[in-house]
Amino acid sequence: MKYNPHKYQTYATNFILEHPIAAIFLEMGLGKSVITLTAVFDLCLDSFEVGKVLVIAPLRVARDTWPAEINKWEHLKGLKFSVVIGTEQERLSALRKPASVYLINRENVDWLVNKSDVPFTFDMVVIDELSSFKSYGAKRFKSLLKVRPRAKRIVGLTGTPSSNGLMDLWAEFRILDMGKRLGRYITHYRNSFFTPDKRNQQIVFSYKPLHGAEDAIYRLISDITISMKSVDFLKMPECVINEVPVYLSEKEQSVYNNFREEMVLALASEEIDAMNAAVLSGKLLQMANGAIYDEDKSAHFIHDRKLDALEDLIEGANGKPVLIAYWYNHDLERIKAKFKVREIKTSKDIKDWNNGDISVAVIHPASAGHGLNLQSGGSTLIWFGLTWSLELYQQTNARLWRQGQNETVVIHHIITKGTIDEDVMNALKRKEKTQNDLINAVKANLGKAREAV
């Protein structure tokens, strides 16, 4: 296929070419793969500035999406690639294969650096989903940081740079510029831009930005960062966000409140302990959805309020395909028991959905992420259970709300009033504001050239 780039795509490609360190914040559907591959082709086969490129991506994206993009576009013909996925022998064989681009899933970065015994000779690294390196304690972060000085060029791609707040940015930019802009140490970054928020004596659970910190952080990273939103450059379908409230009975609300306050609930003679805030949060989310696991992973039924609301929404769709996002397995089991649904898991499931052969589908946000196009099969998404993760939330919504969708997208959220559901919904809105502030602060001005690093 012939590549006729949009103006913003040419701008982004040139930005990568002109900046050895580049953070490219592109929303879903803007073509970040072809933008980056166009720059890679130039660097490898035109200017010969780069010999070997390592692309790190989610498994399915590294295995399917990037190879498909390389094979799709005429102007990339001659760009040889090797997929470093599979058994250890298959990975080793792929690394020995002559190529310009080597594609690996992020789970194998530690293996590549520390266990493969293959020298790290890549002079350019592309991280597809930079946000997957936001945890500075993860093996993938430590391993890549170890060899980062060997790569003279690096590109970080993501649509959700600060999915859980500005604290995420430190690790991401530590990988990119080795600490030049936000500092070499997380403690210095925290002390410079944040103050303790929630704490228990000496234990700090969370931090909040100091006054003016957001603007200061954005200024520090702006010289190597561009950001683009789909709505600014593509004709996006209308998206309607809807909250569907459900209410617990007095008895159900009492059970929920007692558990929340006392952190212990006896159900069917099984005592369920919430040992810390994170566990308690998960338990409360389960209860808001209608069931809860005990220590033996047995589910205990509490209410059907969300299932009743789900039934109304499915009926209200009048036969139009509906996609349901669930979080816990007991949610899935109860949904399956009440409705005829099909899980979106395999390539055939995706094909059948997009062909209109599935009327009600269910999907888990963790498997609904990067590189999954479902916009042809329907335009209605129902969140049965919510997630604290803005990244998973936005990525799941983007399965339907993206370029190529021909109908108005309706996203329903079933919210159990008087429960943690309301807190999660508010948190997602706050995080989205923080992320939007970041994106707007470094937004690409297509008419203004940036200085190279």
Q: What is the pLDDT of residues 404-422, one digit of tens each?
A: 777 788 899 999 999 999 9
Is pLDDT of 265 > 60? no
Does domain 239-247+304-418 correspond to CATH entry 3.90.245.10? no
Whole-angstrom CA distances from 17 to 43, 301, 366 are 8, 57, 33
Percent of the chain with pLDDT over 90: 52
What angle do helix axes 168-177 and 139-147 make, rounded to 10 degrees?
Answer: 30
Q: What are the φ and ψ backbone dihedral angles of 383, each rounded to 5 degrees?
A: -85, 105
What's the mean per-residue pLDDT of the chain? Answer: 86
From residue 382, how far is each of 77, 240, 393, 425 by CA, in Å? 41, 12, 12, 14
Q: What pLDDT does residue 453 have?
A: 41
Average pLDDT over residues 426-448: 71
Binning pLDDT at 50, 70 and 90, where does residue 441 land? low
Considering the chain, tell me which residue range(s) the CATH 3.40.50.10810 domain(s) occupy.
Answer: 7-233+437-441
pLDDT exceeds 50 at position 449: no
Is there a contact between 301 and 295 (Cβ–Cβ < 8 Å)?
Answer: no
Q: Which of 55-69, 153-167, 241-255 has the highest mean pLDDT?
A: 241-255
pTM of the model: 0.69
Q: With a cut of 70, say whether residue 444 has pLDDT above it.
A: no
pLDDT given at position 274: 47
> Where in the sequence of the chain do the CATH 3.40.50.300 domains occur?
239-247+304-418
Q: Picking from 175-179, 190-194, 243-247, 279-283, which range would have the lowest pLDDT averaged per residue?
A: 279-283
The CATH class, in words, for 7-233+437-441 is: alpha beta
Query: Is the model's pLDDT at 112 over the cut of 90?
Result: yes
